[in-house]
Chains A and B, each alone.
Chain A
Amino acid sequence: MREAVAGERPSGAAGPNAAEDELVRPDWRPVLARSVVLRRDRVRGADLLLLPERVVVLRGAAAAIVALCDGERDVAGIVAELRRRHPGAPVGDEVPVFLGRLRAERWLR
């Protein structure tokens, strides 16, 4: 099973617990669940999240955001880093929502 997730435009298509989106706190230190692997796919030239029964193709800035989820940086730190890399981008609004979606899917904890 494959699907695509875009980083820069979080849509309304969140997981079963979409309400959790609102609970993203700036001091949460997101890290990928043990069963989830972020991988550069050199054969397809794509960034992937590998899960037990599915593969998620990350689009846009999604992979760069997930790569910052190392369990050390908190959400505020991730936003600050992305703001430094992309001045003027609406990261402060969009990144926490995106991280909340991934947590609702139980890909981040």
Chain B
Amino acid sequence: MSVAPEPPWALLAELTHGCPLRCAYCSNPVKLNSRSEELTGDEWGDVLRQAADLGVVQTHLSGGEPLLRRDLRDIVAAADAAGIHTQLVTSGVGLHEARLAGLVDAGLRSVQLSVQHADPARADLIAGARATGAKERAARLVREAGLPLGLNAVLHRANLDALDALVELGLDWGADRIELANTQFYGWALRNRDALLPDPDQVDRARGTLERWRARLGGRMELVWVAPDYVDATAKPCMGGWGAVSLTVAPDGTVLPCPAAAELLGADAPNVRDRPLDWIWRESPAFTRYRGEGWMREPCRSCELRTVDFGGCRCQAHALTGDAARTDPACHRSPDHGVVRALVEAARGPAPDHPGYAYREGGT
């Protein structure tokens, strides 16, 4: 038996898979939960109280688009009453002045807004919807409400060369922080991988741009870089380790060690409708399966990086090799790394005029 795990710090609450946007890079699962399967507001309140008792102090209220939940204000209030710090993760579509005021009143502390591209037409193509106007308005309202504003820009082939404009947009909109998050290939992003995967030279150029902006901004606006693991040939310390730091609750109450783990776990994924969150975190087979280092094989088992990257991402190992206990193929030391390298090499060269994304269906 393994020792009792440390308590979790954070909970990602995916309140709905419904979304007015259909972003090609979305990490939601290809098989989306329907609105009728979603937890009720009362069930979310209960989940958040259980999470607080377990040690959770932060929640990211996400989706899909969490503003599609009419009871979002009650969910925020329940989190705040349980002592959990709340951040809304939104497309900005549907964030009107009165709505935001209600959320702030309920205890909302921070907003993270997605941006797809600084150029509206290109942003629309990536998002599969028109949203730039709504986003600009949402940013203004968040600033006026006195909440910190973070922007999240998922980076890929069609926007890595436009980083300057994204940073300028962040300054223009008064953001405190921009997360420049290279696409991680799960869900819809995995389906669209050929269209999203950048030329490695694009990544090099973007890194240079990032360093120039960091030097110029000197902390005025924080720039966070989420590395492209395929291109860097480096396994990421996914989720800070399996079942180590945070948990995800999907719209239907499925509890996952990582937002992408639904496919890997399948029917083994526990649900808050069946079990207490405490049992799920501490004892469920789903959470203990890859916790710690006992599951590791070579080359991870004897690798000095295992305490740094925790063997990389289990979901990626599963998606690319069919075996979740193998070394993450993004790692250059993985025996399966050739698969990733071939994809990256094939991405060299100019991008086509139209990327040909597969857009998610059944959004709202």
Q: Tell me which residues across on chain A come within 8 A of B9, comparing CB atoms.
A: 2, 55
Contact present for A52 and B53 (CB under 8 Å): no
Say whether, besides A2-B9, A43-B55, A34 and B146 are in contact (CB < 8 Å).
yes
CB distance from A106 to the nearest CB of B (A): 8
**What is the bound-complex CA distance between A55 and B246, given in angstroms?**
13
Task: Scan B52-90; emit 1 where CB is below 8 A from any A CB, else 0.
Answer: 011101100000000000000000000000010101000
B33 contacts the other chain (Cβ, under 8 Å)? no
Please classify the interface of chain B as helix (H, G, I), strand (E, B), loop, or mixed, using the class held by over half of its residues.
loop
A11 contacts the other chain (Cβ, under 8 Å)? no
B291 contacts the other chain (Cβ, under 8 Å)? no
B148 contacts the other chain (Cβ, under 8 Å)? yes
Q: Tell me which residues across on chain B come within 8 A of A16, comparing CB atoms.
A: 218-220
B27 contacts the other chain (Cβ, under 8 Å)? no
Within 8 A of A (CB), among B216-257: 218-220
Within 8 A of A (CB), among B91-108: none
Within 8 A of B (CB), among A40-86: 41, 43-44, 48, 50-53, 55
Q: Identify the interface centre among B57, B146, B219: most chain A CB within 10 Å of its CB.
A: B57
The residue of chain B having its C-beta at the shortest distance from the C-beta of A16 within the complex is B219
B177 contacts the other chain (Cβ, under 8 Å)? yes
**What is the bound-complex CA distance between A17 and B220, given in angstroms?**
9
Q: Tell me which residues across on chain B come within 8 A of A37, comparing CB atoms.
A: 85, 109
**A residues adjacent to B (C-beta < 8 A):** 2, 15-17, 33-35, 37, 39, 41, 43-44, 48, 50-53, 55
**B residues adjacent to A (C-beta < 8 A):** 7, 9, 53-55, 57-58, 83, 85, 87, 109-110, 112, 146-148, 150, 177, 218-220
A-B contact pairs, 12 of them (CB 8 A): A16-B218, A34-B147, A41-B55, A43-B53, A48-B57, A50-B109, A51-B85, A52-B87, A52-B110, A53-B87, A53-B150, A53-B177
